[in-house]
Amino acid sequence: MPTTFHKSAIREYFESIVIAVILALFVRTWVVQAFKIPTGSMENNLLIGDHLLVNKFVFGPTLGRVEKAILPTRDIRRGDVVVFKYPDEPDRDFIKRVVGLPGETVELRSKKVYINGRPLDEPYVHFLEPASTAQEVTSFDVRERYGPVQVPRDEYFVMGDNRDNSQDSRYWGYLPRHYIKGRALMIYWSYESEREDYLDEGMGATLTRLFSVVTHFFTKTRWERLLHQIH
């Protein structure tokens, strides 16, 4: 009579955990990843404390025409809100909006963006102050005047929606294509919090922040922003 092999409960649990971890790593690496907004550079569209899901697959390379026809991938477009590795410090993630595409000429006049000499319609833009008069603008104020410059091949010109308070391509240059991680998809949670920096404040500060989130979860959650699609 043949012997029936039965897995132990411990082994079954272990295999289930391993499979779950592998799937989670696959999803995080290739499909979707969570990010948090730490600054106000994308206000008023994205707020400090917004937690986003980023589609990392949509801009992924494909091997041929068949894959391109089947898989939901596409080229980067103007207006896409993208998460990327900050070129000056690749271990940090930034989020900005694509404004200039490869080969295009980008110029800023009185805070208005021009692409190849034509004004760009940007209903999402937020300004802290109105544009200055021609006499008040200095050649060093890139918030008022910039360019014209031509975007190199395989690079992009990105800007924050909060134009007067954003460190973007006006300050650090063009964004290489291979630094882009994905397109911001939706807000899955939003918590009203203060601006954060990138310094390690230690375990004590981390526990204090965690305790604050737990105790104020219902009162500080921005419920109206949950599942809000990002445009």
Q: Which residues are tagged catalytic?
A: 41, 96
- How far apart are the C-alpha atoms of 122 and 111, rounded to whole Å? 11
Contact assessment for residue 159 and residue 168, using Cβ atoms and an 8 Å cutoff: yes
Work out whether the CA dihedral 59, 197, 168, 187 comes out positive or negative: positive
- In order, the DSSP letters of 27-75 are IIIIIEEEEE--SSTTTTTS-TTEEEEEESSTT---SSHHHHHHS----
